[in-house]
Structure 1
């Protein structure tokens, strides 16, 4: 088994550009599969989940290659999110595996729901969804207790470099070790080109007039290059610990919100109780959470992402049934005869039934 894994890793390193292009192409195809044939949505989501799982494994392997060889490291520094999650993954083995399990559940939860919908009764399907949400809530509470900091999504580092920029590896080297240093030197400059570095004097008619004022001030030039407080902070200190009961309550309410929503949704699907309760918990968590200072860039970006995610309520419950879906259906009917917009309308038309039938397309 280990020999097969080693051969696959070697194949990945030597063909990283081709595999990256293939992943990107397959991801684009999955957006257009729903509605094309029977069970097309299942095929699309199964392919998407497989690509996400393989990409997570590939990122782990490529991160080892980049770490072991300084020549492969990116020029730009890692993002604050990657610094924080990578520091916790390296420090705590339990954090690393819980974070990976959460990502695996996120990648496969919709495929699991589709399989349950086809194989078991509707009641057992919703039991499976509640079980998934309960497992996710427990794992997130464990991470919250472990880190004592607001949860970051996703909890694992993301890919920040282009795999196609990695140099090809030699067949003799281990796929997880740094490649040997190159034994060649750049070609020397030919003799007839060595004296061709003196530029010709510019013509007076082609010389632009001297600028009367600077287009950019010195401050505008230096500000993006200046170090911020987050740049010099230790990676584990990029998020401050939860210091008050109010902070803990805000995070706990936010974590339990999806479980409460699906539980109320199953008990009474015709009522708005689930939607109102989840939205109320979202607003309670938002008002209870602390206001991070301007220097806490990572925490501010996480809270900004949570605020943007509230737009998903337009695709849930009675808001979707009475407002958003009629608007989309009207848009589809108006653009059906338009050459370019008709393609977009047909794309939206294929996705509307999926939002009606499956919970995890718009789950909180």
Structure 2
């Protein structure tokens, strides 16, 4: 296994090229969207699993850990979520083949429930950071201005951390809109300069050598749920609600389909409502951050990009029943008839629409989970 890991890390460009080619060819497998054909989906899942494992090997290449950085999680949550997503279509097809259209939803619900549990565990283990790409991408952004209460309180509560003028200067420089902060920063700078002028040279060398021999060992602690809610107020609570609703939304959708069927509008509206409410909470936090510089809760750039990605996923509601059967399918058929007489374009349009219609029959392709 170690030899394989070394080979993947040395030839990662070649591995990426082969994976892209293999995954692209799986869409051309015969009987890809057949009701009873399990083989093509098994091949697709196999290549997806191999790709996920290789990516995990590349991403976990040993590097020198920076002092003060939190220890990485032992359990590979992101890899686990990716493997579940690669297997869920195979689970759906197999359950449909052996148990029928109605009972397959029991297996799909079990798969979605497993993903919810893993994502909730990852959400908690990451210090309640937003899940990127559904948890498949690890959120490594350091948002100390969000959760690190020591920074907002000047590290006065932590013994063992220097509380001198330099520390206060850095604290107030981070809040330049605070008039008191600017005044104290200027006084601290003056006091520090005076101290450095009067300090003997030999003492400076001793302090520098001591600092080199004893590097800081402060570890960044993950915030608890109570810390987020108490220190970030309403924005922190809205963030938690929005993220939890994004995590459990697919399970709610499947449970309602299991009870009322995928031809009912009720599961469609329940899922859409959960998406709209959850994203409105997170969008409100992003708007609050843009309008108020002193906002207690901040979203990082990758998290703001994640919000845009989630909104793009709303387009999948056009491909979900009953909306697809009543509206989208008619539009696709009408477009195919218009383009059919056109050489080449008509052929590719027909194949594209055929793939879309075939993919729509699989819940896992249109679930957005």
1:313 aligns with 2:317: yes
For residue 47 of structure 1, the aligned residue among 39, 43, 47 is 43
4+ long deviations beyond 6 Å: 36-41
Give the structure 1 partner of residue 157 of structure 2: none
Give the structure 1 partner of residue 303 of structure 2: 299
The 1:257/1:114 distance shift into structure 2, 3 A limit, reads same
**SS of match in other structure, 1:148:** coil
Give the structure 1 partner of residue 73 of structure 2: 92
Give the structure 1 partner of residue 265 of structure 2: 272
Give the structure 1 partner of residue 135 of structure 2: 155
The 1:62/1:136 distance shift into structure 2, 3 A limit, reads closer
Q: Supply the distance in 2 between the matched residues of 1:99 and 1:19 (Cα, whole angstroms).
A: 20
Q: Give 1:339 shift.
A: 2.1
Gaps of 5+ in 1: 69-86, 159-233
Q: Supply the distance in 1 between the matched residues of 2:22 and 2:254 (Cα, whole angstroms).
A: 32
1:119 aligns with 2:98: yes
Q: Supply the distance in 2 between the matched residues of 1:241 and 1:335 (Cα, whole angstroms).
A: 55
Q: Supply the distance in 2 between the matched residues of 1:326 and 1:107 (Cα, whole angstroms).
A: 31
Give the structure 2 partner of residue 226 of structure 1: none
The 1:8/1:108 distance shift into structure 2, 3 A limit, reads same
For residue 27 of structure 1, the aligned residue among 20, 23, 29 is 23
Pick 1 or 2: higher relative contact order, CA cutoff 8 A, min separation 6. Answer: 1
The 1:356/1:52 distance shift into structure 2, 3 A limit, reads closer
Q: Supply the distance in 2 between the matched residues of 1:254 and 1:56 (Cα, whole angstroms).
A: 23
The 1:22/1:149 distance shift into structure 2, 3 A limit, reads closer
The 1:271/1:57 distance shift into structure 2, 3 A limit, reads closer
Give the structure 1 partner of residue 53 of structure 2: 57
Deviations 1:72-105 (A, max 9, x none): xxxxxxxxxxxxxxx88x5222xx4333211111
- Native 8 Å contact 1:332 1:348 kept in 2: no
Q: Supply the distance in 1 between the matched residues of 2:344 and 2:81 (Cα, whole angstroms).
A: 39
Give the structure 2 partner of residue 145 of structure 1: 124
For residue 355 of structure 2, the aligned residue among 347, 351, 356 is 351
Q: Give 1:291 shift.
A: 2.2
Deviates more, 1:278-287 or 1:118-127: 118-127
Gaps of 5+ in 2: 139-219, 291-298
Q: Give 1:336 shift.
A: 2.5
The 1:32/1:288 distance shift into structure 2, 3 A limit, reads same
Pairing of 1:281-296 with structure 2 (within 5 A): 281-289=274-282, 290-292=284-286, 293=289, 296=300
Pairing of 1:70-219 with structure 2 (within 5 A): 91-93=72-74, 96-146=75-125, 147-157=127-137
Q: Give 1:298 shift.
A: 1.9
The 1:22/1:123 distance shift into structure 2, 3 A limit, reads same
Deviations 1:42-76 (A, max 9, x none): 444333322222122222333455737xxxxxxxx
State the TM-score, normalizing by the size of structure 2.
0.62
**SS of match in other structure, 1:67:** coil
- Native 8 Å contact 2:123 2:129 kept in 1: yes
Give the structure 1 partner of residue 248 of structure 2: 256
Q: Supply the distance in 2 between the matched residues of 1:268 and 1:157 (Cα, whole angstroms).
A: 34
Q: Supply the distance in 2 between the matched residues of 1:278 and 1:21 (Cα, whole angstroms).
A: 37
Deviations 1:194-250 (A, max 9, x none): xxxxxxxxxxxxxxxxxxxxxxxxxxxxxxxxxxxxxxxx9x89xx96634332222
Structure number having the greater helix percentage: 2
Q: Supply the distance in 1 between the matched residues of 2:280 and 2:13 (Cα, whole angstroms).
A: 46
Q: Give 1:21 shift.
A: 3.0
Q: Give 1:13 shift.
A: 5.3
Give the structure 1 partner of residue 186 of structure 2: none
- Native 8 Å contact 2:109 2:251 kept in 1: yes
